[in-house]
Amino acid sequence: MDLLASILNAQRGGAVRELAGSLGLDEGQAGAAITALLPALTQGLKRNTTSPGGLESLMGALTGGGHQRYLDNPETLARPETTADGNAILGHLLGSKEVSRQVAGRAAQQTGLDVGVLKQALPLVAALVMGTMSRHTAQQRATAPGGSPGDLMGSLSSLLDGNQDGSIADDLMGFAKKLF
């Protein structure tokens, strides 16, 4: 299952409903926001995993950050601490508020949603991304205990491979072209 489907189907759509309610959107708009914001977040994850210490840092966050709670209990999305955690995640994934603004601006153009609403959605979607990856990592560890970080990264690649061609490298290059 890919990352988008995992988020949209979490708790039978509960995460999408909670996001919609938190932002004053209907569920279709919330789904569109997630769909539009997700590529930039996955590209940030991919970029981070290729930086020195990035994979180890990601694995530490996935195994010890408690992010799975955002999927297990979608009502946590409405809490201020979730927004704070999501903003911290964005700092790691996107690097700056300026890049976050650009991501929200592009998503607004794609969806027709207000850029301000998408700026509010971005940290919540980042929390959902980490929650999904955290859940996937926990499941992988349960089925293959003692696996190396490389093994876990291999299993996460299916979540991060945007075009499902078996390579995250081309997705990373596409993202770099869009930024620069």
First-to-last C-alpha distance (Å) of the chain: 31
3 state DSSP class of 88 = helix
CA–CA gap between residue 166 and residue 43 (Å, rounded): 15
What percentage of the chain reaches a pLDDT higher than 70? Answer: 78
CA–CA gap between residue 6 and residue 162 (Å, rounded): 13
Cite the DSSP H helix spans in the chain.
3-9, 14-23, 27-50, 54-64, 69-72, 80-93, 97-111, 115-143, 149-160, 169-179
Residue predicted with more confidence, 17 or 135 = 17
Residue 134 reports pLDDT greater than 60: yes
Residue 159, pLDDT score: 53
Cβ-contact 152, 58 below 8 angstroms: no
